[in-house]
Amino acid sequence: MSLQCPLCHSPKIASFHHAMKVGAAIGTVGGVARGVSAALASGQAGAALGALAGPVGITLGSLSGTILGGLAGGAGGCALGAQLGESLDRHVLANNLCLLCGHRFNLA
């Protein structure tokens, strides 16, 4: 995709994507937190299942449930945060800078 300055139609545009990175970071943290709470629940379910197989089963069941839940939550939160950040980029922040005339503008 090639950008053009809406004022002088110069194609020399610098784009910033701060909001997207911040959004992804926030989403990752939020997703991990959500994943951990979901993971604790699935860890308990795993432990309950593992209890049928004895003490080793309890440990394996709760561990794998916690790890899987945390990973899934973190990945989902990161994708969500990136989407949020991108829509912020597009609609709120003027993140494109014309290198010719210095005009800042959003994506059309």
DSSP state of 6: T
Residue located via tokens 């800042």: 104
Radius of gyration of the chain measured on its C-alpha atoms: 22
43: tokens are 């860890």
8 scored as a contact of Zn ion (CB under 5 A)? yes
CB contact burial 48-73 (16+ within 10 A = b; e otherwise): eebeeeeeebbeebbeebbebbbebb
The piece of 14-22, 31-39, 71-79, 91-99 that touches Zn ion (CB under 5 A) is: 91-99
41 scored as a contact of Zn ion (CB under 5 A)? no
Which of 14, 53, 92, 101 is the binder for Zn ion (CB under 5 A)? 101
Count of CB atoms situated within 10 Å of the CB of 108: 8
80 scored as a contact of Zn ion (CB under 5 A)? no
User: Given the complex with Zn ion, which of 5 and 24 has the nearer CB atom?
Assistant: 5
User: Given the complex with Zn ion, which of 21 and 103 has the nearer CB atom?
Assistant: 103
Which of 5, 19, 38, 84 is the binder for Zn ion (CB under 5 A)? 5
100 scored as a contact of Zn ion (CB under 5 A)? yes
**Which residues would be at the binding site for Zn ion (CB under 5 A)?**
5, 7-8, 10, 98, 100-101, 103
